[in-house]
């Protein structure tokens, strides 16, 4: 499934307020996401949120939120995971 989705129960305005990034946006999920938990492991995104050069990504069938960087080619390289979205947003 590709598209631009928001997490259940969240609005873009709430995401922007908690993160402090008033330009936060939802991205199309049709892109390569790798890097966590093993370098080079490909993840299958359900939701991607962009915060300037950083991203939070929720994978299909996974409750964790992965933080990573948006690469020049549009791919995302993740380096950490959070147990819930609020915690991940505060960790930006």
Residue 29 resides in a domain: yes
What's the pLDDT score for residue 2?
Answer: 53
The structure's pTM equals: 0.90
Number of domains in the chain: 1
Average pLDDT score over the chain: 91
Residue 83 resides in a domain: yes
pLDDT in tens, 71-85: 999 999 999 999 999
Residue 42 resides in a domain: yes
Residue-range definition of the domain harbouring residue 38? 12-90
Q: Going by C-beta distance under 8 Å and a sequence separation of 6 or more, which residues neighbour residue 58? A: 7, 45, 46, 47, 64, 65, 66, 85
């Amino acid at each position: 499934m590709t598209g631009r989705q928001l997490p259940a129960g969240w609005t873009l305005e709430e995401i922007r307020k908690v993160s402090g990034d008033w330009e936060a946006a939802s991205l199309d999920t049709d892109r390569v996401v790798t890097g966590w938990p093993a370098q080079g492991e490909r993840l299958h995104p359900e939701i991607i949120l962009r915060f300037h050069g950083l991203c939070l990504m929720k994978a299909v069938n996974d409750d964790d939120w992965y933080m990573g960087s948006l690469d020049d080619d549009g791919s995302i390289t993740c380096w950490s995971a959070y147990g819930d979205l609020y915690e991940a947003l505060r960790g930006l």
